[in-house]
Amino acid sequence: MSDIASGLRLAVGTLSVVPVGAIADPTESHARWAMCLAPLAALPVAAVAASVLAVGDLAALPALVTGAMAVAAIAAGTRAMHLDGLADTVDGIGGGWTRERALEIMRRGDVGPMGVAAVVLAVLVQVAAIGALASRPFAWLLVGAAVVASRASLLLTCRAGMPSARPSGLGAVVAGSVPKPVALAGGVLLAVVMAASSAAAGLGPTAGVASAIVAVATVGLLLRTCRRVFGGVTGDIMGASIEVALGTMLLVLSSGRW
């Protein structure tokens, strides 16, 4: 099996509930391709979320109900592991007096009050934002594109020069695996995809580009904080970056300014 196919299989298997069978220990090349192809691995989850939007529109469901169902579908399609990563990351940042304590809090996995608050806020923002977009033409396309684009945050999270916070685990495998030119190209492609989808939804391309720029800036701030607190990235931080990117893009797109 080629490195590209193995990388895509690794990305799908770790970022969604789509069964891919047993995954062997990834090589450096597999890890690099997995992070580069993460947006493609999100296509099944994006398709389910888009289908929920389309069905909600056909059934004339209340906007918030449609938004809640879409967010539930996204969580189910990823085993809610990105939300779990967000909770663990926020708990570690908030309770870690030292790097070792922060990593221990994250490793334990039991969700503290700050983690609960972060997850509740993230879900509320996503539900309300999707609800605000639900009545727009091609809302299903716009939300699906946002789901796919949010996974491009892994290009930034795992770019060259970003160390792993631990010597083992998913973060150690993929940290620093994405060349910086590829991360930059992925960011440009992200902006193009969001511009096209927001234009189709009647928001204009500026809204899509703005959502991409704000998402990159917000994820960058998160990663800067995580590098200071944890010393690098982990699998939980990867999940947190995805949730932050998705929530930020949806928030910007739902603004009445457009």
Q: Has residue 103 got a pLDDT over 80?
A: yes
Q: Has residue 26 got a pLDDT over 80?
A: no
SS3 (DSSP) at 178: strand
Residue 1 pLDDT: 55
For 194-217, write each residue's pLDDT tens digit: 999 999 999 999 999 999 999 999
Residue 96 pLDDT: 72
- pLDDT above 70 as % of the chain: 99
For 59-91, write each residue's pLDDT tens digit: 999 999 999 999 999 999 999 999 999 999 999
Report the pLDDT averaged over residues 151-170.
90
Q: What is the pTM of this model?
A: 0.94
* DSSP string covering 127-143: HHHHHHHTTSTTHHHHH
Residue 214 pLDDT: 96
Of 40, 52, 23, 24, residue with least CA distance to 155: 40
Q: CB of 222 within 8 A of CB of 245?
A: no
Q: Has residue 129 got a pLDDT over 80?
A: yes
Distance CA 245, CA 214 (A): 9
Q: CB of 212 within 8 A of CB of 190?
A: yes
**Domain coordinates in residue numbering, the chain:** 41-253
